Amino acid sequence: MNTNPQIKRIAKAAGLRFLAAAALGLAAVAARGGDESGAQGPKDYTLFLGTDLALTTKDGTFPVWDVSEGSWVLKVNGAPVTVDAKDGPSQLKMKSGMRLTEASATIANLRKEPEFTPANDPYTKFTKATNKAASDYAGAQFASNDAAAAMYHADAVAQTSSEPNSLGGANASSTSPSGQTSLADAGGLVNNASVAAGASPGMLLTSGANPDTEAYDALDVTFDVSSPRQLNRPYVVLICRYHERGAPAGAVHDWIHARPLNVIDSKPQHVHFLAGGFPPGYELINFELHLYNMGSEIATNVAPKRVEYTLDEAFDYYRKQYLSSHKSATLPAVPAMGHPPADLPGRLAQGLVAKTLYVRVNRDGTATEAFLDAACTRRADDPYVGSLIRDIRFKPALENGEPVNGVATLMLDRLAM
């Protein structure tokens, strides 16, 4: 993917976009898991180990934006392009790293059980074979009855032919070829019926012919999902590692399955599906469930290496990574993350708040005061504006990689989108 490995995108539901940093080492993440700063407030942000998905086609490598049944949906030059998973050449690329996001969802009642695909289900095969055997047995019984009747008829004819006739002699047909043929045919029918009767259900499973009841080749997955913020184009991606039956110890393979979901909101949605593609008798080694919405991964309670942060904790993590990623850069201060008020769109529509503010930002990324002009000569003397900018964090201005005081342009109409 054409993304700086040290910089990750993080999007706020209100429309504010900012860059999240790349992964810390596991030890550093664990160290930051505690509330060492003593910061207070709701833990609205989540740091977790996420995975970027991209697909390499003959035209290049593009990020996955969505999925449909059996297809990947890519964003190519800003437009969605559908690629059938069976079409080639194509290659799925996965890149893992720590993600910091405010969007979150809850996965409840998650269950994953090895299962059979219908085509590989030994019980289904047994039922089909049993039904066929029963049909064969019925046919054999009919043939046996028919053969017995034919044999009885042939015997009766033979007995009649052996009786003395009115002239005192035996009927010549008793030793004729036609009589011998009738008896032979009847015996053959009985023999064939006996062979066919061997296909009865009781004879289906003989020694050494038992079905392989451990040859699972699928995964049965069920869970409930909900989100406080509506997700309009969600999809789930399962990333697993498995050991193939008979393979050397330690030999593992990757397996991935993607599936679109219905719109997710605060009401739990039940999800249940069967995902195939495993070799029969596989052993599941690792299982991860990743939830996405329009190409962006959503933090969940089952995400790997998950840590919850307050705004100040999240920004402290983010700021350190931002500075680490721009050690020699000279850049202006820009908005990074925060909580715009719920009534901001209404105030903007009524003209009660200026659409654009110019905010003085300290080197630590916090705002001090807002102005109505870029020269910072006209203060925005409004308590509402003062409260608003205190809940916004900014990427500090940089001079040769060092944070300095600066001025950031804050477009409230974009913030309220």
pLDDT tens for 317-334 read: 999 999 999 999 999 999
Region 392-414 average pLDDT: 95
What are 226-241's pLDDT values in tens digits? Answer: 999 999 999 999 999 9
* Between 239 and 58, the higher pLDDT residue: 239
Q: Residue 152 has what pLDDT?
A: 61
Above 50 in pLDDT, residue 77? yes
Q: How confident is the model at residue 58 (pLDDT cuts 50, 70, 90)?
A: confident
Q: Region of 56 please: left (phi>0), alpha (psi -120 to 50) or beta.
A: beta
Give percent above pLDDT 90 in the chain.
56
pLDDT of residue 339: 80
Q: What number of H helices and E strands is found in the chain?
A: 7, 22
Give the separation between CA 237 and CA 275, rounded to whole angstroms. 11
Q: Where are the alpha helices (DSSP H) in 10-121?
A: 26-32
Residue 237's closest CA among 216, 213, 255? 255
Provide DSSP, 211-265.
--TT---EEEEEEEEE-SS-BSSEEEEEEEEEE-TTSPTT--EEEEEEEE---B-
Q: How confident is residue 73, by pLDDT bands cut at 50, 70 and 90?
A: very high
Average pLDDT over residues 54-63: 88
Say if residue 250's pLDDT is above 60. Answer: yes
Asked if residue 53 has pLDDT above 80, the reply is yes
Q: Which residue has the higher pLDDT, 212 or 306?
A: 306
113 pLDDT exceeds 90? yes
Smallest CA-to-CA distance from 237 within 403, 387, 369, 54 is with 54
Q: Band of the pLDDT at 274, cuts 50, 70, 90?
A: very high
Segment (H or E) for 65: strand 60-68
Strand, helix or coil at 146? helix
- pLDDT tens by residue, 155-211: 655 555 555 444 444 343 334 444 444 445 545 544 554 444 444 343 344 444 566
Whether pLDDT at 345 is above 50: yes
Length of the chain counted residue by residue: 417
Name the residue among 289, 183, 174, 300 with its Cα closest to residue 231: 300
Helix (H) / strand (E) containing 360: strand 356-361
Longest CA–CA span in the chain (Å) reads: 146
pLDDT band at 248 (very low <50, low <70, confident <90, very high): very high
What is the structure's pLDDT at 70? 80
The pLDDT of residue 57 is: 84
pLDDT at 190: 46
**How high is the pLDDT of residue 157?**
56
Q: What is the value of pTM for the model shown?
A: 0.67
What is the average per-residue pLDDT within 46-66?
91
Asked whether the predicted pLDDT for residue 120 surpasses 50, the reply is yes
